[in-house]
Amino acid sequence: MTMMHINAFTQCTPISQSIGQWRNPADVMSRGYTDLQVWTDLAKTLERGCIDALFFADIHGIYDGYAGNRDAAVRHAVQTPGADPLLLISALALSTRHLGFASTYSTTYHSPYECARTFSSLDHFTKGRIGFNVVTSYMKNAEDNGLGVMLPHDERYDRADEYLDVVYKLWEGSWDDAAVIRDGARNIHTVPERVHDIDHIGAYFSVRGPHMCEPSPQRTPVIYQAGASPRGIEFGAKHAEALFVGFTDPRNARERVTMIRERIAAHGRDPLSVKILAGVIPIVGDTDADAQRKYDDALQYVSPEGTFALFGGWTGVDLSRYGLDDRLDDIDSDGMQAIARGMRGKSMRDFYERIKLGSFSVKIIGSAAHVADTLEEWVDVGGVDGFNIMPVVQPGSHEDFVNAVIPELQRRGRFRTAYAGMTLREHYFGAGHTRVRDDHPAARYRANASK
Amino acid sequence: MTMMHINAFTQCTPISQSIGQWRNPADVMSRGYTDLQVWTDLAKTLERGCIDALFFADIHGIYDGYAGNRDAAVRHAVQTPGADPLLLISALALSTRHLGFASTYSTTYHSPYECARTFSSLDHFTKGRIGFNVVTSYMKNAEDNGLGVMLPHDERYDRADEYLDVVYKLWEGSWDDAAVIRDGARNIHTVPERVHDIDHIGAYFSVRGPHMCEPSPQRTPVIYQAGASPRGIEFGAKHAEALFVGFTDPRNARERVTMIRERIAAHGRDPLSVKILAGVIPIVGDTDADAQRKYDDALQYVSPEGTFALFGGWTGVDLSRYGLDDRLDDIDSDGMQAIARGMRGKSMRDFYERIKLGSFSVKIIGSAAHVADTLEEWVDVGGVDGFNIMPVVQPGSHEDFVNAVIPELQRRGRFRTAYAGMTLREHYFGAGHTRVRDDHPAARYRANASK
């Protein structure tokens, strides 16, 4: 029986994907996302539930594609304003002992040398509890703000491939395990011969090294990825240790999971060594009716304009140009057609009904038993390794999940009752597995590794 | 009687300027600089002493000029390895209520849009307790690592001038105070008309805006600067709210302080509105003899090689080429001659004796009464506003200062006995002064400011 892996999704912004919930009086996060206490409360709750990691989405810029401007995104607080989640993490690490933290970080907006320094620092400060969600970034707005040139989609991944090579070299190869010896008698803090240049010269980057940071517990942070395009899937199959996926149902998931695992194997990696996590929105009540009531309560704060501003940002389509009665099939956009593939013949209204709370992630509305049943089906039929839990109301959603669903899963032997190790990678791969596996592409750069 | 301002200096690395102290068994920081608990202990101590701010130096790279390589810097842990201090700050903010935090941050290695986001995030998370020490960076090593091109010295400051213009516009002008209204009834979280592009187009940067972050308590972080060259002093006179200076004695300080205040006035600013802080190394004992014993104890861990590796990094001179009996006057280097101006006719040995513990900062060795006497003289004769306290041993130096010297200064009415405000800027300028003064260059970009 497969044990599940469960991440809690969030973003350092009033509202991530449950557009409109800032109007919900219960939603403290929308007012308190800059308050450390709000975040440490969440982290402590998740650790009580033995959750693998708190996961931060992140963007740079403001969605400005609805009606050709950013007004809808601003008005409805569509992932705006925001703050930098990486700067929260040491406070959360101080408040917890086991919970992992993963953050989205763009290969377009930061140099690889800086990236390596950032994640090594956080891996030290968290004592090995950090993960890196690799994104290549998609917002035109960021380019206008001098954050780097946006390359064509597939080339972004070519560049990201080389970017990861550079950071792997810095993390794995630049400092030997035995570099820092602190030998006072011989007056040697660090053995110079054990700190190496990386001398990387490639198509996109030239980085001499050495890395600034001494080896941290995990060295390479746990690599997450969520690309859904063919090139994105290829990138994830090569690099990711945990993959975020969006599926409509367990049967559809099975097919996609099989395909993804084949791509992982094609990169010479154990296909089961990558944890595939489905994005889901559990709405949990004491009874199924109570859960439905919670869902209906949240719905009253939703509006099409904010929802479409977010989707327009993702798909590059200005959805203000369509009425609720327009047919999806008539929207001339690859991005939109890809998203709406399963909705042939449907209207914008149908589409809105589908995405209006938490976007495309599957909603699971019911008692803890019902939610646990559904998650088990996703694992047993769909073949996923676990879930990325998307909240509707914060606090509320994650707390309900930890208080009601986690104990149910634990009773069924489907979720850990205690953390087995101290580092994030051990949460995924078992006690002792703090470093990347030998079949991961970072491993080839290990200091003193045979080449 | 002038009240003093006091910062505690540190760096997220085994040893900042007291090279060799990693061999001192009392120095926990050299082994624990990646341990949050070590840092929160320090922060709590400083807050107990009502210290203005904990100040982080920072570098990107490794000093590699001694004997033409980095071996000496690595061997003696000369500010290497290191970690990113910005990523520590939320943990320290969570552990304190009043203490300010200031960090060095390079205008060469990060885009201004990213800089604005970083400091706004930290200003939110700390509730207005963040400062930004502006540096233009000087390490060739960083350029080899793809962190940006190193411009000629004066042009670096021209670029930094424009850089600050950009971040001021983002911090002060992009979001009106009343932009975020959270009006649930009208379904308006943020009023779109109150969020503005900055449309900056200059010689070095093009940044459209708007800022990603809503207004934080201070908006612009407290600006620190430490440039000592003519162009650096000009830059500081224009932008800084607190200036770090290195003087040899109070009489020498008076002359320089007068000159700096004239330059501040030349920029249309109140010359007393910039706090001038002298770097000093107090070594405090129960008696003068006890202090001398502490100093002698620390000296046994010092070595010329590590010390000269640091100085070579600062001055661009490979000091391995000179023996201890060589004369300073024979070293053909502008940087070295500038530093050694007061040491005509002296040898490298004399120079080493001078800098060997904590570089050029003045050492004040004695009882709390003696240290307090000396600090008072620096303020009353030298005209400085306060001090940047450089530690020798961590923990030890800062703790001795807080436990013995602060109460002595408080008894003399020279230092606060409680914080007057909650934000860092209020520590410097009094309760209620949370935002930049009207005569600061950032003020001209205030949202709705008359132009």
SS3 of residue B48 by DSSP = helix
Sequence-separated (6 or more) residues with CB below 8 Å from residue A360: A246, A248, A279, A339, A354
The nearest alpha carbon in chain A to B91 belongs to A91
Of all residues in chain B, what percent are helix, strand and coil, respectively (each to 5)?
45, 15, 40
ipTM for this prediction: 0.97
Position A354 scores a pLDDT of 85
Amino acid making up residue A133: N
CA B199 – CA B184 distance, rounded (Å): 31
Contact between chains at A91 and B88 (C-beta distance less than 8 A):
no
Confidence of residue A297 (pLDDT cuts 50, 70, 90): very high
Residue in A22, A187, A205 closest to B23 by CB: A187
The mean per-residue pLDDT over the stretch B172-177 comes to: 97
Confidence of residue A448 (pLDDT cuts 50, 70, 90): low
Distance separating alpha carbons of residues A256 and A394, to the nearest angstrom:
31
* Residue pLDDT, tens place only, B103-144: 999 998 899 999 999 999 999 999 999 999 999 876 777 888
Q: What is the pLDDT of residues A343-355, one digit of tens each?
A: 888 898 988 988 8
> What does the pLDDT look like over B352-366, one tens digit per residue?
988 888 777 899 999
pLDDT of residue B449: 55
Token pair belonging to B438: 């009207």
Any residues with CB less than 8 A from the CB of A259 and at least 6 apart, and which? A233
CA gap A346, A337 in Å, rounded: 12
A356-387 pLDDT, tens digit per residue, is 887 778 999 999 999 999 999 999 999 999 99
| Percent of chain B with pLDDT strictly greater than 70 | 98
Q: Which positions in chain A touch B202 (Cβ < 8 Å)?
A: none
Amino acid identity, position A422: M
Cβ contacts of residue B201 below 8 Å, gap of 6+? none
Percent of chain A with pLDDT over 70: 98
* Beta carbons within 10 angstroms of residue B345's beta carbon: 8
pLDDT at B450 exceeding the cut of 80: no
State CA B261 to chain mean position distance.
19
Residues of A in contact with B94 (CB under 8 A): 36, 40, 91, 94-95
Among A132, A188, A212, A301, most B C-beta atoms within 10 A, so best to mutate, is A212
Distance (Å) from the alpha carbon of A303 to chain B's nearest alpha carbon: 9
In this complex, do A87 and B89 lie within 8 Å of one another by their Cβ atoms?
A: yes
At A53 the pLDDT is 98
Of B121, B125, B195, the CB nearest to A74: B195
Beta pairing partners, B388: B7, B279
Greater confidence, A330 or A111? A111
Asked if A179 and A215 count as a contact pair (C-beta separation under 8 A), the reply is yes
Bridge partners (DSSP) listed for residue A101: A54, A130
**Cβ pairs A/B, distance under 8 A:** 212
Contact across the interface for B82 and A187, Cβ inside 8 Å? no
- A434 with A217: CB under 8 angstroms? yes
Q: Please give the mean pLDDT across all residues of chain B.
A: 93
Average pLDDT over residues A111-138: 95
Q: Name chain A contacts of B207, Cβ cutoff 8 Å.
A: 144-146
How far is the C-alpha of B428 from the C-alpha of B3, rounded, in Å? Answer: 10
Q: In the numeric block, which tokens belong to residue A236? A: 């994830």
Q: How far apart (Å, rounded) are the C-alpha atoms in residues B306 and B75? A: 8
User: Which residues are paired to A18 by β-bridges?
Assistant: none
- Say yes or no to pLDDT of B182 above 80: yes
Of residues A81, A189, A207, nearest to B77 (C-beta): A189
CB-CB under 8 Å, A125 with B91: yes
Does residue A258 sit in helix, strand or coil? helix
More confident residue, B334 or B418: B418
pLDDT average, residue stretch A150-168: 93
Q: How far apart are CA B176 and CA A32, in angstroms?
A: 19
Cβ of B244: how many Cβ atoms within 10 Å? 23
Query: What are phi and psi for residue B184, nearest 5 degrees?
Result: -65, -35
**Main-chain dihedrals φ then ψ at residue A387, nearest 5 degrees:** -140, 150
Take residue B278 and report the two structure tokens written for it: 């002298």
Which residue of B75, B119, B145 is the best one to mutate when testing the A interface, meaning the one whose CB has the most A CBs within 10 A? B145
Mean pLDDT of A43-52: 98
DSSP string, B261-274: HHHHHHTTS-GGGS
Q: Which of A122, A124, A189 sits opposite B76 (nearest CB)?
A: A189
Instruction: Say which DSSP state A404 is in.
Output: I
Predicted local distance difference test score (pLDDT) of residue B138? 67
Q: Where does A26-139 have alpha helices with state H? A: 29-32, 36-48, 71-75, 89-94, 112-125
Single out the residue of B224, B60, B232 nearest to residue B155, CA to CA.
Answer: B232
pLDDT at A313: 79
Chain B, nearest residue to A20 by Cα: B187
> What's the Rg (C-alpha) of chain A?
22
Question: Lowest-pLDDT range, A58-72, A277-291, B371-385?
Answer: A58-72
* DSSP sequence for B426-438: HHHH-TT--SPPT
- Residue A451's pLDDT is 42
Contact B125, A90 (CB under 8 A): no
Report how far residue B416's alpha carbon sits from residue B47's, in angstroms, rounded to the nearest whole number.
Answer: 12
Interface test with B, best of A18, A84, A167 (most B CBs within 10 A): A84
Nearest residue in B to A120, CA atom = B83
- Measure CB to CB from residue A94 to each of B14, B94, B146 and give the nearest one: B94
CB A181, CB A157: distance < 8 Å: no
Q: Average model confidence (pLDDT) for chain A?
A: 93
B38-94 tens-digit pLDDT:
999 999 999 999 999 999 999 999 999 899 999 999 999 999 999 999 999 999 999
Cβ proximity of A393 and A299 under 8 Å: no
Answer for the pair B53, B100: CB distance below 8 angstroms, yes or no. yes
Predicted confidence at residue B147, as pLDDT, reads 83
Predicted confidence (pLDDT) at residue A341 exceeds the cutoff of 80: no
- Which chain A residues are Cβ-neighbours of B77 within 8 angstroms? 189-190
Q: pLDDT tens-digit profile of B322-349?
A: 999 999 888 887 777 777 667 888 898 9
Q: How many CB atoms lie within 10 A of CB A407?
A: 15
Burial class (CB in 10 A: 0-12, 13-18, 19+), B152: exposed
Given pLDDT bands bounded at 50, 70 and 90, which one contains residue A138?
low
Which among A256, A314, A362 is positioned nearest to A135, based on CA atoms? A314
Torsion of CA B129, B134, B140, B144, to 10 degrees: 60
